[in-house]
Copies of this chain bind each other. A is one copy, B any other.
């Protein structure tokens, strides 16, 4: 056990990041093992388009919680891979509407059984005494109620 594991809560940001990175890398290995040419970072965009069919760039960015420039760079890759395509919105010429191509939809159906397996596997890993997904949701809710900085200021003035 190293120091970061020992310090506990103060290093929680580092811990979250490390676990995220590990799951992302393992996810990439799983796609590769099942002979699917897909990068984990594409998942949020593709899944969103699978469910919502057609969205603008900013709508996707909001759905996946990324900045719009990050989203644009993902969309560029996916367009190069011919997994998505886009066209101007006739009603609003500023907007670019994104959809899955036939190839993209095919890819989604090929991935669905793998997603099921991943879901089962991730539940095995994270549905422990303290459920990781619930824990994230609860922490995010607390942060929404009152931010980290404001809480720290309050504790200082009280303590």
Residues of A within 8 A of B (CB): 1-24, 26-27, 29-30, 33, 40, 43-44, 47-48, 51-52, 62-65, 114-115, 117-126, 128-140, 142-143, 147-149, 151-153, 155-156, 159
What does DSSP make chain A's interface, helix, strand, loop or mixed?
helix
Residue pair B133, A8 in contact (C-beta under 8 Å): yes
**A148 & B26 in contact (Cβ 8 Å cutoff):** yes
Which of B8, B131, B156 sits near A135, CB closer than 8 Å? B131
Contact among B2, B24, B26, B148 with A63 in the assembled complex (CB-CB below 8 Å): B2
| Alpha-carbon distance between A11 and B27 when the two chains are bound, in angstroms | 11
- Docked-complex contact A11 and B43, CB < 8 angstroms: yes
Given contacts A12-B122, A65-B14, contact A153 B33 (CB under 8 A): yes
A139 and B132 contact, Cβ closer than 8 Å, known pairs A12-B122, A20-B16, A48-B3: yes
